[in-house]
Chain A
Amino acid sequence: MENDIDIPPPSYKIVLLGDSSVGKTCLVHRFITNKFDQNTANTIGAAFITKKYTSANKPDRQLKFEIWDTAGQERYRSLTPMYYRNAKVALVCFDMNNFETTFKTAKFWIEQIELNGATDASDPIEIRLVGNKMDLFDKPQPEDLTEEQQNRAKDQKQETNNTITFHRTSAKDGSGVTEVFDSIIDNLDDDFFKFYFDKKRAELEAGRDGDQLSNILGSRLQNTATSRCC
């Protein structure tokens, strides 16, 4: 019953943060197109990408991801708060092969989110720490990070109030990428969907009576086809 065709899936904002060249854009592109381009160029400013996605584990749950892929380069930092301000999830990325530098930047972003991110204390931004470029990692063990690095990632977890989950991914060979997004959907409360659909249905009912919905959607985009609603 939650998959009413009339009602678009709830949108869900995600922001990718992290140092330059850790693979944020590649992660997003792997998720969106399932492709990898070795020559991906640096992001200028930011890119806003949307995709409707159904969890592989819970096929009744669909979200419209609204993903902010931000530039890692230092000179764009002043803009970044705008991107994570209303985000539900922050994917804070680092390069497992360039741990020291990129993890330091990851830490910086986690601190920034804690300082400025929470617009509402009851709804903190969920932080997911993503170690990318797993394929390049020379340790053959499944536990890729060195023990010390793992401990530091864990410490980081304890220092913060936001929930932190740790993922390992490779945008190049695709491992772990969809799992990140699946787990975002899977971890959501049932209430989230219930609340959303109840609200939308109520709006729709009201709209049929009072023409309110068409008022909201229609009058500005007068007579415009809404076939491409995104």
Chain B
Amino acid sequence: MSELSPSPSRNGETSNHIKYNVSFSSTSKLAVPSIANPTLPTGEPTTAINLENAGPSESSFILEEDDHHLQVVSTSRHSVASDSSYPGSGGQDSEYEEEDGNNVNSSHIEEEALQNMLSDLIRSNRSYVNVRDNSLPLRELSFLDLNIFPNTHEAKNELEFYEKHIQIQKDNDEPAFHQKLKHFFILSTAGKPIFSMHGSDDLIMGYMGIITTIVCTFEESMKEDFKSIMVGDKTKIVVLNKSPLLLVAISQISYELMSSNTDSTSSNKEDKESDSDDILLINQLNTLYKYLLAILSKPTIEKNFHNRMNYDLRKVLTPLDFQNLEALCMKLTYGLPLLNQGESISDTESFDFFIGELMDSSIQSVKVTNTTRMKLNNILLSCKRLKLRDDDSALNRSSETASLIFNRTTKEAEKYLGDDLLFSFLLASSNKILNYMKPKNHSLSNEDMKLLFSMISAAEYQNRGGSFDEDLWIPLCLPNFNPNGFLYVFVKKISLSSYLQSSTVDQYLTIVLVSSNKNTFFQMRELSRFIINKIVKREQFLTTLTDELTGSTKLSILNDIKVPAIKHFIYKLKETNQFIMNDMVHFNNDRSMNTLLQLVYFYSILHNSRATRIKSKLKSTYNQQQGSNFVNPINTYKIDNKKLTYVKWQGAGSIVTGFMLSDNSFEFYCLSNEEIDSKELISSSLKIIRWCEKYRKRLFLGGGVVF
């Protein structure tokens, strides 16, 4: 077994909290790329070798010859500065200083430059890869081959592994409890258990005591917040202290333990600096915490515990809350839904959620033509202008009877029906936004939206088929908007096809109206009826909308733009933090757990691998080719901040290539499980990226419509 040498910088971490490395070798031999010797001797087990001066190309070879597990065969990066403290250094990306302001404006130059560069990087590795590949029989790739999770109990197939190590299990079986790869606990600071992903109450009680003791000891004796601990090199424990609540995550999953090297512009930048290694797990804990805030609000939690330290928060939680928390745990960790025995994955909501979280709380919108989106926007806007009329007096009996009786004709009586309406959404499926309307001075964060949508899909569950006429009224605290108060959410799901005479598919639309006033249910209901009427009024529009929505749920851009080698991609628009990706079915021709876990792993590695800035290299390539007399400062082709990552997994007869390209405006990730050369990889990627840019208005919602 070959392993990377430990990266020295991790031990010497200086941060404002205690980081306790019980013992350390390497976090993940798969994950951490290293500078390695390109003149690698073939045919024998190899350790990564440090190369003093890597030049423009740095590659790592981490191979296990006798092992059929897939390995990261090569990670190629472009960097000119010789940076020997490369892995885990947590420092800035290496880059050239830009010499002058001249930019390249031609996209084919970009393409050529990227192609040359990438093929340069890969060439030496590829021959080696091929030799090895031929000796192995081809068979379908399993997530077990990837060595994502330690398979210490030698599970023979995916299902056995899932049941043993992943599936939620709430019984008293202690050995089974310890075989689980991921644990979440929520407890009170007094040590009372509130939620546990696995295990019975009896089983976890003791551990709750240990956790509280450790946290208290750090707090009292060392005046420090306990944040994380590494047990060996395979297990990490992270604690989030939101007194009176403690949230704990324990993970043994390789892609969760690698240090995150995102260049995200996320809001919690301070956290990132201090806890960059733990940020993934801390974000997960924050998501769980925010669920509790959403249903209870901060003052409720604090008040309950203020009265009694040993208060049992479970008293105010319902079985549905526990189920939602369990679903969150599975989605956050594996992108998997909660499955009953023998059930297979029926939709990709959980995978969408995972990718959204991975992309720093990015959200997905529904692809429709701009015309359709504008029409729907106008409908939403017009419902803000509806006057409250006499016949609505019944709606407002309690508060406004007087004014309606005495001032019917005066201007004061001309109240608007949607006065208390804050945010409105049209959703095409539970997690994809079709339209969004917001007031000028407020907006909802992506985190809040995701919370809102997951509550809606949990509440809608009863009426899945939209089989009867039901309106929901949900009090919800949106913690980023206001952790101290509730908003009231009106939800109405309609079947568009039921309004159409000839319709072959069921297409649903969910209307979500968020009000600031708990007594405005009937006003919101009236608005929803107005919206529905407007949408179904003209059959032509309704037909167009239904067709467009049906087409967009299965995004098959890859077929549309003919890039056969690329099987799956994610394109994220940084400005609005929204992303799109194609249906996962294209990757392996199925939506199985096996495929899903592979994608989760590949994208985690691709996203968390440290990308390298390439702007200067591009520039120099261009200069070599074109000479310096080509100057076009006006038509700026933005090469600022362009970065790429290339990762290749190979073994067991399969090859998977992952590629990431990003700049200031987008991030692009793609996977191919075929033989693909650098030229094709780059040209296919750029084809998709250009396609996404071209159809930007269709693919992305933008900032929403403002009233």
Give A contacts to B, CB under 8 Å.
Answer: 20-21, 25, 29, 32-33, 37, 40-51, 73-76, 79, 82, 85-86, 216, 219-221, 223-226, 228, 230
Q: Tell yes or no: B225 within 8 A of A by CB.
A: no
User: What are 9 A-B interface contacts by the 8 Å CB criterion?
Assistant: A42-B318, A42-B320, A42-B321, A47-B462, A48-B470, A50-B469, A75-B296, A76-B475, A220-B530
Residues on B with beta carbons closer than 8 Å to the beta carbon of A49: 468-471
A45 and B467 form a contact (CB under 8 A)? no
Q: Tell yes or no: B525 within 8 A of A by CB.
A: yes
Q: Tell yes or no: B473 within 8 A of A by CB.
A: yes
- For the complex, what is the distance from the CA of A79 to the CA of B474, rounded to whole Å? 10
A45-B459, A75-B296, A75-B316 known, 4 other contacts, Cβ within 8 Å: A41-B320, A46-B472, A85-B398, A220-B530
A79 with B398, Cβ < 8 A, contacts A49-B469, A220-B386 known: no
Of A33, A48, A230, chain B has the most CB atoms within 10 Å of the CB of: A48
* Number of residue pairs spanning A and B whose beta carbons lie under 8 angstroms apart: 97
Residues on B with beta carbons closer than 8 Å to the beta carbon of A42: 318-321
Closest A residue by C-beta to B320? A42
- For the complex, what is the distance from the CA of A44 to the CA of B470, rounded to whole Å? 13
Among B352-360, B506-514, B531-539, B694-702, the stretch that binds chain A is: B531-539
- For the complex, what is the distance from the CA of A98 to the CA of B525, rounded to whole Å? 36
Closest A residue by C-beta to B459? A44
B537's contact among A50, A216, A224, by CB below 8 Å, is which?
A224
Residues on B with beta carbons closer than 8 Å to the beta carbon of A32: 468
- For the complex, what is the distance from the CA of A191 to the CA of B394, rounded to whole Å? 22
A75 and B295 form a contact (CB under 8 A)? yes
B318's contact among A50, A73, A86, by CB below 8 Å, is which?
A73
Residues on B with beta carbons closer than 8 Å to the beta carbon of A73: 316, 318
Q: Tell yes or no: B339 within 8 A of A by CB.
A: no
A46's contact among B398, B473, B519, B537, by CB below 8 Å, is which?
B473
A44 and B455 form a contact (CB under 8 A)? yes
Q: Using a CB-CB cutoff of 8 Å, which residues 494-529 of chain B contact chain A?
A: 499, 518-519, 521, 525, 529
Closest A residue by C-beta to B530? A221
B390 and A216 form a contact (CB under 8 A)? yes
A29 with B521, Cβ < 8 A, contacts A41-B320, A75-B295, A228-B532 known: no
- For the complex, what is the distance from the CA of A43 to the CA of B470, rounded to whole Å? 13
Closest A residue by C-beta to B534? A224
Q: Tell yes or no: B389 within 8 A of A by CB.
A: yes
Residues on B with beta carbons closer than 8 Å to the beta carbon of A220: 386-387, 389, 417, 530
Residues on A with beta carbons closer than 8 Å to the beta carbon of B323: 41
**Closest CB in chain B relative to A159 CB, distance in Å:** 28
- For the complex, what is the distance from the CA of A51 to the CA of B589, rounded to whole Å? 43
B315 and A225 form a contact (CB under 8 A)? no
A79 and B518 form a contact (CB under 8 A)? yes
- For the complex, what is the distance from the CA of A219 to the CA of B461, rounded to whole Å? 36
Of B318, B387, B390, B532, chain A has the most CB atoms within 10 Å of the CB of: B318
